[in-house]
Structure 1
């Protein structure tokens, strides 16, 4: 039956106590302090509801990792979904297939922590994280109760490699069709922007899915906390008020966060090429490519480690002359590819860091502030009296119990007075 709340002051005090407990438990779920959280739903009915993981911070960190993996998957292919290298347009079909097969890992090589793509008939292809392996069978964090056979998954990076290898339009052709008035060899900023914009569009899906995960998981945890907190109050009106208020607040915050994501994507779609980190990344890529070519071209020497100066000179000449021997459009495409990959490496790292931070501020932190304002704003005399008003059946039952207690006390007094005790 619970404690009788006859006066308005007692009702307001009890309501504020529930609000304080709810906010503290939600804050604990968001900050990772899980000790005070309810792990099971206390329900009076016999139908058990599925367990809900109230460790909100831990669950959302897993979603953040999936988001990062999905963005990396979009970046693994070419910036505009073209072939991996512009020069590969001169390769034969058989050579391209051979290179593509080299890029694909064998499923026996899967290890814990890998990102895999799982196709679902209802949700499409989703990126999951491997937490356990058994041969080619894997178990993912998002599907902890089910083993996935080799036919149901593939490496996330293989999808991007396959798409890149199957593209029919080359970067060289794209540059030729869209370049501005720049001279040959000079990279076209217009083409560069177009490539970056198409890559950024691929980031929208993972970002929106992360936002939806934040919204859905926060909503589920909020409902569980409210249900367990008010389970012994036997007052469905208060529980319903908490849940409906949380749903309304989350819906408004999700809309605001979605608008902020759109602005962030618009900002990322206009590349900023004066970034110092971009220059450093571009320089590292050029040095790495040159080092690779030197290691492959320079002679290894005889058994004593000696090499012929003529062989070294010839190898260096081949390296220097090789780049300039390419046609101008191939050289331009190669320069564009290096610049795009360097820029996307820098921009994607920034993007996967900024999005979770914005969602934490726009959705989680704002949710606590808005819920406190909404719930405490409802502590008017009329609203509190309406929410905590007992039903007629409960009031009748309580009065019956009071009458029974009085009757028993009278009977005890009679027995004690008669001396038969």
Structure 2
């Protein structure tokens, strides 16, 4: 009798164990490209071209091939070119899934994968970080969705993109297939839709309107800067958060001037403004990457290291110095004034001449001086004033 009474319990335990063993991984296919419903398109900016098409040689059935070419933008400011492939998700609720899976054929180096939600929050991650070793030519990728901490609404993820950005020549081809979500996680809370108070500009008098524009412009350089380094984003999204990691030294110069204006208008606490300006100049003295007093055009916001193999930029260094000297005059008699003067005196303008009368637009360790020079009536006038007036390395006033 004892065996009969315990057997049902044993069967229940065994059955639960069997169910647990054979239960499939929770998830579902987002895009497999076998049907005609997959919505995709390419886009380009600068000296780039891109093409996307379905191909028969997918991982499981058809796949999607993405080809891209980026041509050198030429000498000068070194504009970044970019192109990408956008794929729309037919089902955008990813709130309860743990990771994104896909298969890729080709080299993932230089490619970034981005997700975007219906609130226009978007974030990119380097694809090669998640690519496993190829198996029969295909690389399995598993990307934890938690890594996309810039996404605001996981209940409405509209799609994904593959993007490549470069200042130099680049060419590549990849095929993607079987894009799916897997795993299970606790769904995050739904985002709260909050809108800031809005006053139509047409209802404002002229002085109020101009003051509002000025205030918002100044506050950009406060909120879109790294508080430790003072480096300001080269660009950012207008209507939502982003994780853009690269700063422009010219943006820092504009920011230094704007922070002083924000203090004068009472928009920010004076102690906070002074501390931010001082720390920024300290960082440029001790931590920002440069050479002969000049700084690289683009710097990583967290470290101050050179980004994108960019040039040592003469004009962007001048724009930074203009802001630093402005701040030095505004905070006269302080450490800020001393730091601004020290940074100005370090710049070897004569070296940037490279044997000519007018300064070169820049220099790189890999290629030397850029052939183009700053002359004529343009933004370079600011550079020429600073170079002619240098107390240590002045250039010939005829350059003006």
TM band (smaller chain): under 0.3
Q: In terms of Rg, which structure is larger?
A: 1
When normalised by structure 1's length, the TM-score is 0.19
Which has more helix, going by share of residues? 1
When normalised by structure 2's length, the TM-score is 0.20
